Amino acid sequence: MTETAFIHRFEPAASAGSPPLLLLHGTGGDENDLLGLGKMISPGSALLSPRGRVLEHGMPRFFRRLAEGVFDEEDVRRRANELGDFVAEARQRYGIAAPIAVGFSNGANIAAALLLLQPDALAGAILLRAMVPLSDPPKADIGNKPILLLSGQADPIVPASNSARLAALLSQAGASVTHKVLPAGHQLSQADVTLARDWISKADAKAA
């Protein structure tokens, strides 16, 4: 792999029919964080889980931010394109199809940016507690790819208006968006796991 490579974990598919997942952790997480979640929502899927390459007070992230909820958008673009290059290289190396991204918080934000900047890198996405990653996004054609956006009603980090704007932005770019607001905060709940599992099994059945 090139200098765009990420420290990562890869677990091969246990079932040939399951879509590969790209697991993208939140601030302070690493490549091990979401492996359990990936196995819960899509048993049998190949799992590709990179560690964010930006450090904030020693905590890994996928891009820099200037303050809580204020992103360094130039860095967002650069890091999303690096992630897209990594996914392309990993697909070749491991022989997997375009993955469905499963991102939490910072990981969901970089997944949203990747959908807007390199739509072909992903087959779809589950965005958990995501925000609008770019204030001036490029004109993207996401091509009817399925996206599940799960927001928390009591999320202190992501305002409801912001997640609604993200859903609209992705829909306008052609994605097939399902947006649900859960009675939860920023942390994940059992409802997230159940909804993600049901959604991915339906998306998988449609693709088959």
Active site residues per annotation? 105, 155, 186
Rg of the chain over all Cα atoms, to the nearest angstrom: 15
Dihedral sign of CA atoms 39, 91, 9, 152 in order: negative
User: Phi-psi bin for 66: left (phi > 0), alpha (psi -120 to 50), beta?
Assistant: alpha
Q: Which of 152, 141, 201 is CA-nearest to residue 175?
A: 141
Number of helices (H), then strands (E), in the chain = 5, 11
- State how far the alpha carbon of 31 is from the alpha carbons of 36, 51, 162, in Å: 11, 5, 27
Phi, psi of 165 (to 5 degrees): -65, -40
What are the DSSP calls for 23-44, one per residue?
Answer: EE--TT--TTTTHHHHHHHSTT
DSSP letter at 51? Answer: P
Tally of CB atoms within 10 A around 170 = 26
